[in-house]
Chain A
Amino acid sequence: MSAKEKLLSVSNLNVAYGNINAVHGVSFDVAAGEIVALIGANGAGKSSILRSISGIIPYSGSISYKGKDLKQTAADFIVALGIAQVPEGRGIFGNLTVMENLKLATWHRQDKENIARDFDRVFTLFPRLAERKHQLGGMLSGGEQQMLAVGRALMSDADTLLLDEPSMGLSPVLVREIFRIIAEINKAGKTILLVEQNANMSLHIAQRGYVLETGRIVLSGTGQELMGNPRVKEAYLGG
């Protein structure tokens, strides 16, 4: 890890909602080209970490990306810097068409030719979306919405994708499909920070992982190490 350049670095992150502390002093790094998984149960603070990185909730501590401090950076500018998030519950705009959902994510981009190329890529990766281009986002099935959410993050041309529970609510077949696609996107050069309750699948594709419990990192290691860890096995991999 230390040999590689740190792309995203979170140090001593604290997030509080009123009097409830959701994240306590969390620190971790993500290097360019990695898949890093944050695993933990519901309410462990995983989503709060991603929301802090995207700059949509207040936090203390520091987050930097490509050496730039993100705390004073507006959320829309963080996207332009290269961080896109696929939010929990997918966050599809149900009143916009599939095409419009994708187009909205190109807001900060001026490179028209590359945008056209990225549309092609997204439609090659997700042929279902090409078929449903002109349908409203709200008419899509859960799996299609998840594909649209990932496609949207790709349209923003970010180097780093933050994925918040991409497997949530999907059938086992679709879960495998979505993880296969995540690995594929990573191979194509995107850095991925993955937040999941599905520890098994995420540790399989991740180079490294962190285990969160009640807002603290309690374990870290490579995907292989964590999968072999008795504590992880018992708590997250069903024995």
Chain B
Amino acid sequence: MTYILQQILNALQLGSIYALIALGYTMVYGILTMINFAHGDLFMVGAFFCFLIAVYLQLPFLPTLMLTMFGVACLGVLIERMAYKPLRAAPRVSAIITALGVGLFLENFTLALSPYPKNIPPLLADKTWMIGSVTISSLQIIIIALSVSLMLILDFIVQRTKAGMAMRAISWDKTIVPLMGVPVNKIISLTFAIGTGLGGAAGMMYGLAYPVIDPYMGIMVGWKAFISAVVGGIGNVRGAMIGGFILGTVEILVAAFFPSTYRDFVAFTLLLILLIFRPYGILGRPSPQKV
């Protein structure tokens, strides 16, 4: 029993990181119907930004988090402006290939600067508590609490603010939105900033939880977060959160009861089965039929 409780805690930790990254995929898809395949690599850049700030500026946790999110958000907006915006009217496949190219660029640029894996120094005094025989670390609690807070803030922005309303309107029909007086390009930039900023926060937390970082760390995590977004219903913000937690839970539970090499195989099989029965994902809707 305590073993299961322990694993559930681990699942929440991993799931909240997947969910944060999945939000970036789903927001960009929602607004541009494009998969930003560089997003996993922006997550990696987030971990490296955190490393640089922690080592060279030696700031405490919260300023490090904010600077990391800000830096990755700026990079995300820059990538959108320079690489994706010129292709907005081009076939979707061109934009996707460009995104893959941007991802490879980020990996290799980081590799050129940092050929060896790095260690992020601990930014928080690591305390652990025993409740019964379940071990809880302060880092675990912070990762879960921070991710959930960021998701609540995002949900508020999307559902309750004017900018969020504009994002939802763009995801329904981008061509009509300028007729409402809404500056579409600014909203798209804002969406990229928020989505990639969350990815940067996830990179930092991942880097604190699993402190060895390397330029390729974003690939597998990025794929898994992308799959989380699809499972939840791509384009749907709440779906991405649910998808992230489902994938985290499945992975941890599989590794808990089977040899750990089965983890990805079983996790992906379960997800493929889920998609057979719900091809639009858990909260996704079939694309609207226009008459």
Chain A residues at the B interface, C-beta cutoff of 8 Å: 54-56, 74-76, 79-80, 84-85, 87, 89, 91, 93-96, 100, 103-105, 107-108, 138, 152, 156
Contacts and interface: CB of A to CB of B under 8 A. Distances in A.
Contacts of B81: none
Contact of B176 (A93, A95, A103, A156): A93
Interface string B280-291: 000000001011
A89 B169 CA distance: 16
A100 B165 contact: yes
Nearest to A54: B179
Given A94-B288, A95-B168, A96-B165, A87 B183 contact: no
A138 B171 CA distance: 14
Interface string B251-291: 00000000000000000000000000000000000001011
A211 B249 CA distance: 65
Contacts of B177: 104
Contacts of A107: 162, 166, 180-182
B126 interface: no
Contacts of A93: 168-169, 172-173, 176
A239 to B, nearest CB: 31
Nearest to B182: A107
A94 B162 CA distance: 17
A96 B180 CA distance: 14
B182 A76 contact: yes
A54 B168 CA distance: 22
Contacts of B172: 93-96
A76 B183 contact: yes
B179 A96 contact: no
B162 A76 contact: no
B190 to A, nearest CB: 13
B179 A87 contact: yes
Contact of B181 (A80, A87, A95, A96): A80
Contacts of B176: 87, 91, 93
Nearest to A155: B180
B123 interface: no
A100 B288 CA distance: 19
B216 to A, nearest CB: 38
Contacts of B166: 104, 107
B178 A152 contact: no
A108 B165 contact: no
Nearest to B285: A95
B209 interface: no
Given A96-B165, A96-B172, A108-B181, 13 more contacts: A54-B178, A54-B179, A75-B179, A76-B182, A84-B181, A87-B176, A91-B176, A93-B168, A93-B169, A93-B176, A103-B162, A104-B180, A107-B162
A91 B166 CA distance: 14
B165 A84 contact: no
Nearest to B163: A107
Contact of A104 (B169, B184, B290): B169
Most A-side CB within 10 Å, residue of B172, B173, B180: B180
A76 to B, nearest CB: 4
A156 B180 contact: yes
28 contacts: A56-B178, A74-B178, A75-B179, A76-B178, A76-B180, A76-B181, A76-B182, A76-B183, A79-B179, A79-B180, A79-B181, A84-B181, A87-B176, A89-B291, A91-B175, A91-B179, A93-B169, A93-B176, A95-B169, A100-B165, A103-B162, A103-B165, A104-B162, A104-B177, A107-B162, A107-B166, A138-B288, A156-B181
A169 to B, nearest CB: 8
A91 B173 contact: yes
B179 A95 contact: no
A11 to B, nearest CB: 23
B171 A75 contact: no
B136 to A, nearest CB: 40
Contacts of B171: 95
Closest 7 A/B residue pairs (Cβ): A79-B181, A75-B178, A91-B176, A108-B181, A76-B183, A93-B172, A107-B181
Given A56-B178, A87-B176, A95-B171, A104 B183 contact: no
A100 B169 CA distance: 9
Contacts of A138: 288
B280 to A, nearest CB: 14
A142 to B, nearest CB: 9
Contacts of A80: 181
